[in-house]
Each structure stands twice: as C-alpha cells, then as structure tokens.
A and B are shown apart, each in its own frame.
Chain A
Amino acid sequence: MTNWLHHIPILIVAVPLISAPICILFTFGANRKAAWFWTLLVSWFAFLCSIYLLNHVLENGIISYHLGSWEPPLGIEYRIDLINAFVLLIVSGISAIAIPFGRLVVDKEIEPDRQILFYTTYLLCLTGLLGVTITGDAFNIFVFLEISSLSSYVLIAMGVRSDRRALTAAYNYLILGTVGATFFVIGLGFLYMVTGTLNIMDLSDRLTHLADNKAVHAGYAFIIIGLALKVALFPMHVWLPNSYTYAPSLISIFLAATATKVSIYVLLRFLFKVFGFSFDFIPLTLTFIFLPLAITAIFFGSVGAIYQTNIKRLFAYSSVAQIGYIVMGIALSNTIGLTAAVLHIFNHALIKGAIFMAAGCLVFRVGKLTTYTIRGLGKEMPWTFAALVLAGLSLIGIPTTVGFISKWYLLLGIMENGWWPIIPLIVIGSLLAVVYMWKIIEAAYFFQAPQDRAPVKEVPLELLIPLWVLVGCNFYFGIQTEITIRIAKEAATILLGNSP
C-alpha cells in the first residue's frame, strides 16, 4: 500500500493543480455553487496538508521529496524546512478562510458565466503560490511564480465588472510582473551558466567558491531586482496599489495576504541560503540599499495612504508601508531582525486579510468605497466596522495584537544593531498608521450618512464569521505568541546559520 502521508509534499501542490482543470468541467452543469464548493474542499485539503507538514518539520526536521524518484540535484526536489512550511501554512490558511467568505462576494462581483473560470484561475493561483514556496529547485520557483502571476493578472482583471480601471491595473501589473519574472530568470541563467545546477542546495554549495565571479554578481543583481519587483519594495511598488484596489474583493484578500509574502520568502531564500554571507556584497546590499528603501517605503506608503480617499487604495498603500517593515527586518540581518521579518510575514497576512475582508463586506453593501460613501456606516454595520477597527489597531501595533509583536521584535533587532536613529522612524510610521485609520473611523462613526444613500443592513453571517475568525486570530496570536515566535526564531536561525 502506498503510504499517503509520505506524499503530502507533492499532494499539497498537485491536488490544487489537477482540481483546476476539473473545475472547468463544471461549466457543463453550469453549476457555480459546485465550483465554489470544489474550491473550498481543495483549499481546506491544502490547509490540512500544510498543518501536517509544519508539524512534521517541527518534530522531525527537513523533508525532502524527489519528483519522479529522480535524485537531486538532477531531479526536482521539494524541500521543506521550517521557513517554507510556515509560509505554506500562511498561504493555505488564508485561502481556507477566504473561500468560505468568497461565495456571496463573488456572486455579486463576477458575471455569472465567468464564475467557474474565476474559481479555476483562483485554484491555479493557489497552486502557483504553494509551488513557489515548497520547491527546492530554482527554475521550478520561476515556473510556479509565473503560474501564480499569470493567474493573478487574470483574477485582477476580473474586477472589471465593478470598475473598468481593473483592466489597466491588471495590464500594469502584467508588464511589471513580467519584467520582474524575466529578471529573475535571467539571473538564474547566469547562475546556471556558472554552476551548471538549479537545485537550491547544490547551487548554494557551489556558489561559496565563486564569490568573485562577475557572472554571479550579475545574476545576483538580476535576481534581487526581479524579486524586489515582485515583493513591491519601494520604488518598485507602482503596480500594487491599483491592483489591490480594483481587484475583486476575494482576490484583494488573497493577494494582499499571500502573494507578496511568498515573494518575500523567495527573496529571503536567495539572499541568505543561495548566496549567503560568503558574498561580502550582501551585507552591503542589505545596509545601503534595502534599509533606506525600507524606510522610504514605510514613509511613502503611510503618507500615501493618508491622502487616499478610496478605502481599498488606502489599505493598498499601507501594504507598501508594511512591506517596508518586513524588508527592514531583513536588512537588519541579525537573528532578532529576521525573526521580526518572518513574524511579520505571518502577522501582516492576518492583519491585511482581516482588513481587506472587512473592505469586502463594505463593498458587498455599498459598492464603491470612499471616505464619503462609508459615512455613517459605523452605526448601520456595527459588526463589520468593529472588526475593521480592531484589525486597524493591529495594523497600528497596539499591545495584545499581532502587529505589536512584530514591531516589538523589529525594535529589539534595531537596538541590537545599535541603529538608534531608526527607532523614532518606526514610531512615527506607527503614528502615521493611526492617522489613516482615524480617517476611516472618523468617516464611519462621526459623520451623518449621506442623503443620497439608501440605508444599508449589516452583512449576513456567512461573511461576518470568516471576518471575525481572522480578527480573532489577530488577537489570539497577539497573546499566545509562543508558537509563532518559536517558529520565527528557528526560521531566523536556519536562515543565518551555515548548516542547510
């Protein structure tokens, strides 16, 4: 008998992959509900798999799975250590909670005859993100990155029914995303030219002796720039605000919580594991390029958010700032800083997932979200707004929320490096978050509803339950921090350590 547990590393990717074409076949029954339910089952399956994998990695260490039984470095290897097991959990977990939320929202926002294709594309996007995270093969990362990116361009463009600007947003993302992916693959080409291998472990072994090779330097530059584009690190973030704003609500939730996180994971993997500190230009890049960019991102994103009137756009700009915090954690390049970065990957997924979910509830009732249309809604939709405010507190970083935990570790990391001048900047960044959250609170609670809007009801429970589960997670992991901090710390140790 086949031992199925042994095959979970491939099943978590292959099951969503094969479910996507099966999902298209629901067209013949024209059964939208079945397509949704199918997506739900697959998402939950992936979530269970990722929990199993994380547990397994925590107890028994690294899992290595050989596709087609070809030994690495020749064959493709799926290699799961604590870092990618954690990211897998984030991606599949957000999907598992977003899909139950999605049915009503998708019904409202997507044309009926496109919904089945929508779910198919969603499954492909999920496959891509999970694949990028799990694989131990550099070229495989590129392939899955393209699967997830191509499907997310399509998914963003599907917001066209509510706002035609979704098309230009998707096109913008298509061009920049393709440039990013191309840079990444050109960089890989350089590395392959020099080392003749694509397996990440093998690559990092062989690169240790090639620190002076000019082709490796060029490859490094290409890879880092390409990934920074995918991460949406300032000033390469221009695709992000519009994409998140005009995408359908379900996609805003899913992409905001997972897509950039997965790219950050790949960035971490390449910076610390493939190249590693045998390259003396890595600390240089981190300190003199990433750190200033991260600080600029925090300020640019937060100040940009303050000036937005469109609510989803406001939170998209805030995402740019939050990516700045994560990259700052990476730039610190000490254990605590990296712990903060890995923690914030998880915490920010919870925060932005909850916030965009609340925004999805508002879109469900109001349609276009601006600081004008949400006036007075605090009374009419009390539960949604309470959730939005609590998630906002987490975004600002109030104690007992997850946002506080990651910022706390970030501050500790900065102190360890002795970079005191940066500490006020972090505090100011948080205060700017207070300003833009206040804009929303003020509009929702302290203004009368506009005359031209009919009274709205609270959204149904089907939307409120997933929203409150995510908000609950924001507080649960803000108080019960042992598990996440333990994982993040061990992940940081793996990243900085010399052992594989």
Chain B
Amino acid sequence: MNNRYKFIVGTIVIISAVIVLAVQGLQDDSTMSYSKTVSEVQMLGERAKSLSLKVNGNLKKGSIIRNNLDLAFIITEGNSELQIHYIGKDPIPDTFNNDMDAEVVVSGRLAANGVFNAERIQAKCASKYEADYTSEPI
C-alpha cells in the first residue's frame, strides 16, 4: 500500500508539473497568435492591436518596396488592404516576389499607425503551381 501511495504521489507531481508548464506557456501571449484574414483584422478594430496575429492574404502585385534591409508590401483580401512592414531577421521565402500571385501569411503585430509589423513571412505559391495547361495543347 505504501508503495502504491508513493507511485500515485510521483505521478501526480509529474502530471501537475506538465500542466503548469502548458498553462504557463499560454500566459505568454507572444507564443499564441490569432489566425485572421485581412478583412477579419479590420473588423477586430482596436482589439487587433493587443493581439499577436497571423494574417492571411494575397500579395498585391507590384507592391513590394525594398530599401536596403527594409521591406514593405501590401496584402489584400477582396477590397481590404493591409500595409506590411517586415521587421524580422530571417530571409524571406523564395516564392515571395513582385511578379507572383502569392498567398502570404504574415506573423506579427499591428502598430498604432495601422501598419502591420511582420516578424515572419510565409508564402504559399497559389495559382502558379497548380498548372493551367489548357493554354498549350498540342
């Protein structure tokens, strides 16, 4: 009986420790990001500025402006647009350039001036890769 008791105590201690770590991790809001689209961000209004966000949108063609290490661009969804300023350190993905129809996910925060400061950019090559063959039959 004594041993069984010790086991139960040990198990409870370990499980509680892990739960504490899991909950503690959720208190730190920089590790949690809300996935939103461009228009959803605009609907959030002021609340958007308090959250860490992952915004999904389409890169506006020709909107990329590079200045030395600086990078700015616009993502769109329907009629909504969002100004992005890249402040991250990692190299930007290959599929990300001015002549591509890329679907983009930016992670970061909305600044007070309405510009989105992105720490991370992920690009998915949308239509380009799903080949449109009908134009070139033999």
* Pairing of A with B: no
Give residues in A with beta carbon < 8 Å to B: none
